[in-house]
Amino acid sequence: MSTEPTIVMPAHGAPSYRPNWDQYFMKLAMLASERATCPRMHCGCVLVKDNHVLSTGYNGSLPGTAHCYDDGCLVVNDHCVRTNHAEINAICQAARHGMALEGSTAYVTNLPCTSCAKALIAVGIVRVVIFSSYHDSLAERFFQESHVELCRLPMPEGIIHYDLKEFSSARSFEESERENHAGESCSCQHESY
């Protein structure tokens, strides 16, 4: 049998939808937002440098403490104060792992609030990418004063595409079991929350 490779061109060309870098990192931020624990807001943040993800965050309670969805929001002046915002959690995550954020880009689902904007500026973020606004924020003013670039992106297609049937080399677990006549089940503990 020859081991000489053959070039096989895709039958239907390139996929109609392939996210560019900004859309890709924004989709990761949207995915992070799905972990949010407060019903008043779902926000996700991904901190990126040289197309490399340094840290991610979503608005959520302090580690090990009650979630708003379980124990209710802790409201002061019409703001829920139980959670850290996504940007702060992403910065804290980077701090825990000793990651410098100088010169990086923040992908955030929404315009940061005033406090988060100031924190992003202070850790050396140079570009902020968003696809929606926020009800109460002086972020734009602070970004402008500190020469942080603010980019408004149209919301990338929200759905994450993965069609097992589309790829000739992909197998569902069930198909794979049938083909190999051997069932392997994993012993992972799947947490629901």
> Which has the closest alpha carbon to 45: 33, 53, 62?
33
Q: Which of residues 20-39 bind Zn ion (CB under 5 A)?
A: 38
CA 54 to chain centre: 11
Task: Give yes or no: 191 in active site.
Answer: no
Of 19 and 73, the one with the shorter C-beta distance to Zn ion is 73
Q: Which two tokens stand for residue 108?
A: 């955030």
CB of 69 to Zn ion, least distance (A): 8
Question: Could you say whether residue 130 binds Zn ion (CB under 5 A)?
Answer: no
- In the list 116, 123, 128, 139, the residue contacting Zn ion (rule: CB under 5 A) is 116
- In the list 31, 73, 92, 153, the residue contacting Zn ion (rule: CB under 5 A) is 73
Per the listing, tokens 């996504």 go with: 86
- In the list 26, 68, 91, 148, the residue contacting Zn ion (rule: CB under 5 A) is 68
Which listed range, 78-86, 92-100, 123-131, 172-180, lies at the site for Zn ion (CB under 5 A)? Answer: 78-86
CB of 4 to Zn ion, least distance (A): 57
On whether the CB atoms of residues 103 and 126 are closer than 8 A, the answer is yes
On whether the CB atoms of residues 37 and 45 are closer than 8 A, the answer is no
Parallel/antiparallel/unpaired status of strands 149-152 and 127-130: parallel
Q: Which of 87, 145, 174, 184 is catalytic?
A: 87
Question: Could you say whether residue 80 binds Zn ion (CB under 5 A)?
Answer: yes
Amino acid sitting at position 139: A
On whether the CB atoms of residues 101 and 119 are closer than 8 A, the answer is no
Binding site residues, Zn ion, CB under 5 A: 38, 68, 73, 80, 82, 85, 113, 116
